[in-house]
Structure 1
Amino acid sequence: MENQINNNFTLNEEDNVDLKQEIRRYLRYWPWFALALVVTLVSAYVYLRYAPRIYETYSKIKILDESEGLELPTSAFVFNRSNINLENEIEIITSYRIMERVVRKLNLNTSFYEEGTIQTSQIDELPLIFDQIIKPDSIVSYLSYKLTVEDEGFQITNLKTEKTFTFKEHSTYSSNHNLPFNVELDSVTPLSQIIDKGFIIKFAPIKSTSLSLKNKIKVESIGDLSDLLKLTMKGESKELSEKILDTLMTTFDNDGIRDRKLVYQRTVDFIDKRFEFLAGELDSIEIDQETFKQKNNIVDIATDAELGLEQRAQSEEELFKLENQLTLSELLENSLNTNNESDLLPANIGIQGIFQEL
């Protein structure tokens, strides 16, 4: 028992000795550890200070079920599940057709950047009056221009050809040039705020800009039973990202409205054409029926029976009148044959039609 205690004590003493040796071994390199810590902190500060700030902007959109209230309850309705295919809606939102409309509406193939001491960051718009001359569809290659605001005017350099243009009085409208844009000092922005600042103006083709925007926007559903979609975009300019997402949702909504109107219009056109066809068919059938009746002397029993009764009553009445006139005529003839020449003839015995015809 005593030997076991002594052995344990010896092991613990050896462990303590090993730990101290390890500490002494690495303690000799403490200047390197301190230097690595300082370098790490300085690098983190420089990165956070001068790295471009990327903002994440997101928005939510609700997809409406067009069949809601029009169909009988199904199992999806009983278990509170949506009938909307969100995968299809996501594909429509991120389609090239929708992205191209957003690019054209916001003129995203023209971008602006502000040069800083260390970095160049993207901005929503220039603090100047900017008038683009070149049409978006005419941009077939990438173009870049640097605009520097000086005391007496603007200096614009084509970064591809390195050709420089100088404009006085802070306006390009009064000079002849072949630049794809015009700029002028804005009366709202004081010159002192933008003096000696540099701005980059870039032009890109519509197709490449649309594909780039498609890659920047992420669309995902919120939950399994939800009909909400979350649109997320990362960018250097919060204002520009908000504009893009708002325009994207509006374009998607208008696209759905346009599609529904087209479907309704096609349905109405089909019904109108079908109605005209059926009306023509009915008219043709009635004409053929009337012709067939005339050729085969066929009448409608119910209608013709009622018409026959009326005509028969009128015929019997006319026959009775004619027979009455005929009887009176015979009496008058007998009277003429039997009476003498000096006898008077009967007056107003009721013979009218005969004398009228005479």
Structure 2
Amino acid sequence: MHTDKNEYFDSMEEENSIQLKQMMNKYLRYWPWFLITILIALFTVFAYLRYADVIYRSEAKVKLLLDKESSNFTLDVTKLFNKSNINLENEIALFKSVHLSEQVVKNLKLNVEYYYNSTVKSKQIFNAPFVVSYNDNITKLKDAIQYTIKVNPTGYTILDVLSGQKFDIKGYTSTKKIPNLPINIKPALGAIITKSIDLSYNVVLKPLNKTALELSNAFEVDAEGKDSDILSISLEGTNGPQSEAIINNLIHVFEADGITDKQEVSRRTINFVDDRFVYLRKELDSIESSKKEYKRSNNLSFIQEDAGSSIVQKTAKEQASFDIESQLLLADLLKKSIESQKAFELLPADIGIQNPTINQLVADYNTAVLSYQKLQTSAGSNNPSIQLLVSTLVSLKNNIINSVKGFRQQLKTTLVQSESAQKAADGSFASIPEKEKVLRSIERQQNLKESLYLLLLQKREEASINLAVTVANTKIIDYAITDIYPVSPQRSKIVLIALFLGMVIPFTILFIIFKLDNKIYTATDVENIAGNVPILVELPSLKEDKDSYIQNLEAFRTLAHNTNFITPYTEDQKGKVIFVTSSIKGEGKTFVSYNLATAYSHLDKKVIVIGADFRNPQLHRHLDNVSKDTKGFSNYLHDGTLQWRDLLHSNDDKEFPFDLFLSGIIPPNPTLLLSNQRFEKFINEVKEEYDIIIFDTPPTLLVSDTLMISKYADTSLFVLRSAVTEKNLISYSKKLFKDKKIINMGYVLNDIDFTSSYGYGYNYGYGYGYGKEVVKKSWFQKWKRNK
């Protein structure tokens, strides 16, 4: 049992291998299609690669520094211990902003593009022999303008592409404006313009904002890692040095923009301090005048300090009150400054208020003011981002005012307590003259104003130093570098894709053709549908020559032998009746009938071929000088006075003769004629005289004539033609056999091209045995035949 199972699987594997080989040969016989498609694909790819723009990727890397990592000078050492987090998304948005891209476009004049006009296509160049500039302010240019410039021996010929106007300029440097020509042209620095004589260029001047928007979208800015402060800035273009210059210029513009923002804060601080200096000077002058007048009116020159612990206590209370009043004055100054603002302006930062909440709110407010001023230059007031910033600024301003009010209220409460303590200490000074008290009060005011003046002077120096030494919060790790390998086109990948498409396209087309093709070509196609109905022979496609005749005869001898195997044996040994039919006309049943008779005659059989296809007689074609109107079988069935023996013809072969009974004149009603009683009488008579009686019958699908007389047949040969018979007709013939409408049926597969259908040459050294090779057909003939 195990051995049988192995043999079964071995048989299945061998069958699958044969089917796979046949399927591969089925496609490989169209190898010229694959070769032509691959050559076309490769030619197309090489032509594309020849003229396609080669795109390279340029990349730079920048590290963003914290405020404490940059080299801004400050006297406030507490900043060294403050933590600052960098929002990379904000920095990326700034790098990709149209505002910075517009500065890059202006710096490098990227809104002017130059193209060299070659014989195949125009190609952008970055080192044109001349420089074109717009006569007016480039920001006023709303739509792109294009000119074709040809260099002549005496100057330029300029064509306005949009209007069609032509301008001739004498000399290579235009010194005066030409009406209707809004551009100026001059040789590029270091270029020898005479080398470009008779060459033509296209120049496109694009609006500044549109060019900046395109450039902004072209930049790719990404973080190097999740927790990294390093940004990668990349740009793709056809010219590596140009892309490198653009990226490097963007970095410098970004740095300059950051420096400008920091310097603006320092300038505002200096201006604020300068304004307060004017006020403080007046206050100090007033206090000093009051002190001088008080001393002079009271004859005071110098008062000795009191000794003892009481004076120490009194001095401490006074110092506490002094600090509180200083904070109150600073709070008042900040409150007046923010309340006096008519628009959103920067506030003085770090002026000495000892309240971290107020200092942080002032810093946040200044940061929001800078963002608002920057965004206001490129967006309208209705922009959602502007409205959000305005809302944030209003909220911060109210918080500062409220915080200052709360801080002042706190200071006043503390001051009341301090003054109460001071009054208690003053009780111990009953002996101190009242005049000294008044003088102390004046001096306290004087010291307060002087301390505030010195504090503001220190802040002004800090702001001045920061303004002078401000650096950007960036560190350039790598300036822009262009990769040596292009991003596109990727030559190896494109060639591989072309080769793949060159093979897939014809394969797909052939696959679809094969799937849509419902014709049978080989015995395998018939076996898959016919099941147990035998295939008696596969007849090759042969030409009408001597060698083909011999091969044809051997094929039909095989058909004769195989027909004998399925023909029932009878004791009376009377002639055997063989019906040859098909589904439709043109499948070769008459050809099979005649050649089968020839094969039987070579086997020493007495044979007659009867043309029973009254509607489309073809048997007369095998005889010379005989027309289809010659009397025959139809005349015999119709006219009872005729004898069939008198109507017979013989083939031209005297050594192996057989008789032919032609169809006769085409009757008006063949079905009625075949149901004539003379038909059965004729069958009985010819069976007595002939060994083999072959009927060439009508197609079964078109008429019912064959089915009506099929009961008289001992064997029925159903002719199929390769590349003609449709697969659904196999099912139709199988059903006829299953329903016993056709008796003892076998298939004859006609007109097979073994080279194209099986994928190998098929000679008759094997099977039909004379060693003569079948005449090979060209691939085009095979394709045409299969079509």
Q: How does 1:224-243 map to 2 (within 5 A)?
A: 224-243=226-245
Match of 1:60, as an amino acid?
K
Q: How does 1:197-208 map to 2 (within 5 A)?
A: 197-208=199-210
2:129 and 2:193 in contact (8 A); partners too? no
Q: CA deviation at 1:231?
A: 1.2
1:122 and 1:237 in contact (8 A); partners too? no
Give the stretch that moved more between structures: 181-190 or 36-45. 181-190
* Counterpart selection for 2:252 from 250, 253, 264: 250
* Counterpart selection for 1:268 from 261, 265, 270: 270
Match of 1:93, as an amino acid?
F
Q: How does 1:323-338 map to 2 (within 5 A)?
A: none
Q: How does 1:112-131 map to 2 (within 5 A)?
A: 112-128=114-130, 130=132
**Alignment partner, residue 9 of structure 1:** 10
Using the aligned pairs only, state the percent identity: 33
**Alignment partner, residue 72 of structure 1:** 81
1:140-197 alpha-carbon deviations (Å, 9 max, x no partner): 2211100012344321100001111223444544784432223345695445632322
1:51 and 1:119 in contact (8 A); partners too? no
Go from structure 1 to structure 2 and tell me whether the alpha carbon gap of 1:42 and 1:286 turns closer, same or farther (over 3 Å shift): same
Q: How does 1:119-268 map to 2 (within 5 A)?
A: 119-128=121-130, 130=132, 132-173=134-175, 176-184=178-186, 188-190=190-192, 193-268=195-270
Match of 2:246, as an amino acid?
I
Task: Give, in whole Å, the separation in 2 of the partners of 1:46 and 1:197.
Answer: 24
**Alignment partner, residue 86 of structure 2:** 84
Give the stretch that moved more between structures: 185-194 or 118-127. 185-194
1:123 and 1:236 in contact (8 A); partners too? no
Task: Give, in whole Å, the separation in 2 of the partners of 1:274 and 1:190.
Answer: 62
**Alignment partner, residue 96 of structure 2:** 94
Match of 1:39, as an amino acid?
I
1:204-255 alpha-carbon deviations (Å, 9 max, x no partner): 2221111111111111111123222111112233333222212211111111
1:121 and 1:236 in contact (8 A); partners too? no
**Alignment partner, residue 45 of structure 2:** 44
**Alignment partner, residue 334 of structure 1:** none
**Secondary structure of 1:249's partner?**
helix
Task: Give, in whole Å, the separation in 1 of the partners of 2:177 and 2:34.
Answer: 63
Go from structure 1 to structure 2 and tell me whether the alpha carbon gap of 1:187 and 1:141 turns closer, same or farther (over 3 Å shift): closer
Q: How does 1:20-35 map to 2 (within 5 A)?
A: 20-35=21-36
1:68-100 alpha-carbon deviations (Å, 9 max, x no partner): 4834376xxxxxxx8322111111122222122
Go from structure 1 to structure 2 and tell me whether the alpha carbon gap of 1:159 and 1:288 turns closer, same or farther (over 3 Å shift): same
1:229-283 alpha-carbon deviations (Å, 9 max, x no partner): 1111122333332222122111111111111111122233444555665676677
**Alignment partner, residue 344 of structure 1:** none
1:132 and 1:182 in contact (8 A); partners too? yes
Q: How does 1:53-72 map to 2 (within 5 A)?
A: 53-68=54-69, 70-72=79-81
**Secondary structure of 2:81's partner?**
coil
1:89-130 alpha-carbon deviations (Å, 9 max, x no partner): 111122222122222222322222222222222222421254
Q: CA deviation at 1:54?
A: 2.0
2:112 and 2:132 in contact (8 A); partners too? no
Match of 1:182, as an amino acid?
N
**Secondary structure of 1:7's partner?**
helix
Higher RCO structure (Cα 8 Å, ≥6 apart): 1
Go from structure 1 to structure 2 and tell me whether the alpha carbon gap of 1:129 and 1:273 turns closer, same or farther (over 3 Å shift): closer
Go from structure 1 to structure 2 and tell me whether the alpha carbon gap of 1:264 and 1:45 turns closer, same or farther (over 3 Å shift): same
Task: Give, in whole Å, the separation in 2 of the partners of 1:235 and 1:255.
Answer: 26
Match of 1:5, as an amino acid?
N
Matched residue count: 299
Give the stretch that moved more between structures: 61-70 or 6-15. 61-70
Structure 1: tracts of 5 or more residues without a match = 75-81, 309-358
**Secondary structure of 1:18's partner?**
helix
**Secondary structure of 2:210's partner?**
helix
**Secondary structure of 1:243's partner?**
helix
1:146 and 1:200 in contact (8 A); partners too? yes
2:158 and 2:168 in contact (8 A); partners too? yes
Task: Give, in whole Å, the separation in 2 of the partners of 1:145 and 1:66.
Answer: 49
Go from structure 1 to structure 2 and tell me whether the alpha carbon gap of 1:250 and 1:20 turns closer, same or farther (over 3 Å shift): same
Match of 1:51, as an amino acid?
A
Go from structure 1 to structure 2 and tell me whether the alpha carbon gap of 1:55 and 1:115 turns closer, same or farther (over 3 Å shift): farther
2:98 and 2:216 in contact (8 A); partners too? yes
Match of 2:8, as an amino acid?
N
1:60 and 1:231 in contact (8 A); partners too? yes
2:135 and 2:184 in contact (8 A); partners too? yes
Go from structure 1 to structure 2 and tell me whether the alpha carbon gap of 1:130 and 1:207 turns closer, same or farther (over 3 Å shift): closer
Task: Give, in whole Å, the separation in 2 of the partners of 1:213 and 1:274.
Answer: 46
Task: Give, in whole Å, the separation in 1 of the partners of 2:61 and 2:293.
Answer: 68
Go from structure 1 to structure 2 and tell me whether the alpha carbon gap of 1:40 and 1:217 turns closer, same or farther (over 3 Å shift): same
Task: Give, in whole Å, the separation in 1 of the partners of 2:171 and 2:280.
Answer: 75
C-alpha RMSD over aligned residues: 3.6
Go from structure 1 to structure 2 and tell me whether the alpha carbon gap of 1:213 and 1:193 turns closer, same or farther (over 3 Å shift): same
* Counterpart selection for 2:112 from 89, 97, 110: 110
Match of 1:167, as an amino acid?
I
**Alignment partner, residue 325 of structure 1:** none
**Secondary structure of 1:19's partner?**
helix
Task: Give, in whole Å, the separation in 1 of the partners of 2:85 and 2:111.
Answer: 38
Go from structure 1 to structure 2 and tell me whether the alpha carbon gap of 1:188 and 1:279 turns closer, same or farther (over 3 Å shift): closer
Q: CA deviation at 1:16?
A: 1.4
Match of 1:67, as an amino acid?
K
Go from structure 1 to structure 2 and tell me whether the alpha carbon gap of 1:187 and 1:2 turns closer, same or farther (over 3 Å shift): closer
Task: Give, in whole Å, the separation in 1 of the partners of 2:177 and 2:270.
Answer: 57
1:317-358 alpha-carbon deviations (Å, 9 max, x no partner): xxxxxxxxxxxxxxxxxxxxxxxxxxxxxxxxxxxxxxxxxx
Give the stretch that moved more between structures: 98-107 or 280-289. 280-289
1:154 and 1:171 in contact (8 A); partners too? no
1:112 and 1:202 in contact (8 A); partners too? yes
TM-score, normalization: structure 2? Answer: 0.34
Go from structure 1 to structure 2 and tell me whether the alpha carbon gap of 1:16 and 1:136 turns closer, same or farther (over 3 Å shift): same
1:139 and 1:205 in contact (8 A); partners too? yes
Match of 2:58, as an amino acid?
T
**Secondary structure of 1:117's partner?**
coil
Match of 2:29, as an amino acid?
R
2:144 and 2:204 in contact (8 A); partners too? yes
Give the stretch that moved more between structures: 12-21 or 59-68. 59-68
Go from structure 1 to structure 2 and tell me whether the alpha carbon gap of 1:145 and 1:31 turns closer, same or farther (over 3 Å shift): same
